Amino acid sequence: MRKFTIVTGAALFLASGCSSDDDGGAAAQMTGSMPPGTEATPVDDASSDESADPAAPATDGTTEGVPNNLPLDDEGAGDMTAGEEPTEPVSPGGPAQETIAPLPSVRQEHAVVALGGEIVVIGGFTPDATNSVEAYDPAADTWRALAAFPSVLHHANAVSIDGKLIVAGFYFGGTFGDARGNTYEYDPASDAWTERTPMPAGSERSSSCVAALDGKMYVFGGARNGSVRDASVYDPASDTWTALPPLLEAREHCAAGAIDGQIIIAGGRADGIGGFQPNTWAFDPVAQTYEIRAPLLTARGGVSGAVLDGRLFLFGGEGNASDPSGVFPQVEAYDPATDTWEALPSMVSPRHGLGAATLDDAIYLPGGASTQGFGAEDTNTVFRLE
């Protein structure tokens, strides 16, 4: 298993992030930030810079409010200490998790969607920011390259709708200071990308909570020189954007999924890795209203999420002050029918900055990082209910 770490100057800098969606409309988002202009440099874990002073302050992290070196404090963790295991019972039998064919290279802060019977990953850090696009075939347990995205990107917002892949909003290049609202559509029949109408000026953002419902792409919150409350919907049939009532609180690096005609928004953070947003929201696209729902059992940002069996599943995250890695292993599921969260067995490979997408009866979780910040892996796992 390969891992990479960011080094800036003499101090180790930690950051992170990711987005996702699936054919059924489930989506999730990314985590992290690093100073504008900083590029990801691979470092061998066995020979990382021992001259760095672990007690020295990290980069000031003014971009998106990234805090200083670990350990983090518990401020903003909601009603529960970060990393504390919930006491709610686990479903009888529990889910099954399995490690499958690794990605062709390490990757984190990428978008993940299910498209045409495959799991597609877009952009991210490999470990440098990239425009590469790869597809995983679960039947063959193999990967193949698709047409590269038109620009280098990470922390992208993406969904699949009517057999096409839509990317709308992302960080451009290898820094965290240039959020763009460009919208592109990928057609698997021609293996080509086509530019569509961009997000309206002033609403550009990355790292959003994203879901697909009734042939439209819903984008809530995100990052643009800090966390934002913006909400909007894109209709690929008419190639138009429509503003929605803003979220009642800013958040980014979160998850969203469409269930029974509404969109559930959960997880994420505001202006910093430790600024967890524990509230869960249900958005009614007809009334265009938000309703507060039961909060997360373990408040955290940098989560990945997808819908399966009528529930929104959240995986991992970062900002775990109780673990030296800074990564959350938690898997939790929200049932809108009962307005309850359920704790499930921890991830077999805890990560943040990964994506999640549902295909058939499983959720696929390619890539991500096993340490807070840049520790990209080629790990690929699948989650199934039993």
pLDDT digits (tens, 9 = 90+) for 278-295: 999 999 999 999 999 999
Would you state the structure tokens that stand for residue 328, as one six-digit string? 């959350």
In 3D, which of 110, 112, 125 has the Cα closest to residue 5? 125
**Could you tell me the domains of the chain?**
7-44+65-385 (2.120.10.80)
Contacts of 52 (CB under 8 A, 6+ apart): 7, 10, 11, 12
User: What is the C-alpha to C-alpha distance for residues 266 and 295, in angstroms, rounded to an integer?
Assistant: 8
Phi-psi region of 278 (alpha: psi -120 to 50; beta: other; left: phi over 0): alpha
User: What is the C-alpha to C-alpha distance for residues 119 and 29, in angstroms, rounded to an integer?
Assistant: 16
Residue 268 phi, psi (nearest 5):
105, -175
Does the pLDDT of residue 3 top 50, yes or no? no
Region 20-43: what's the mean pLDDT?
37
User: What is the C-alpha to C-alpha distance for residues 114 and 97, in angstroms, rounded to an integer?
Assistant: 18
**How many helical (H) and strand (E) elements, i.e. helices and strands, does the chain have?**
0, 29
Region 92-107: what's the mean pLDDT?
89
Question: What is the per-residue pLDDT for 386?
Answer: 81
In 3D, which of 330, 357, 352, 300 has the Cα closest to residue 109? 352
Region 185-193: what's the mean pLDDT?
98
Question: What is the per-residue pLDDT for 93?
Answer: 54
Does the pLDDT of residue 78 top 50, yes or no? no
CB 20 within 8 A of CB 312: no
pLDDT in tens, 85-95: 443 444 445 69
pTM of the model: 0.79
Question: What is the per-residue pLDDT for 45?
Answer: 34
**Number of Cβ atoms within 10 Å of the Cβ of 143:** 20
Region 245-252: what's the mean pLDDT?
98
Does the pLDDT of residue 114 top 80, yes or no? yes
| Integer angstrom CA distances of residue 335 from 134, 282, 339 | 32, 11, 6
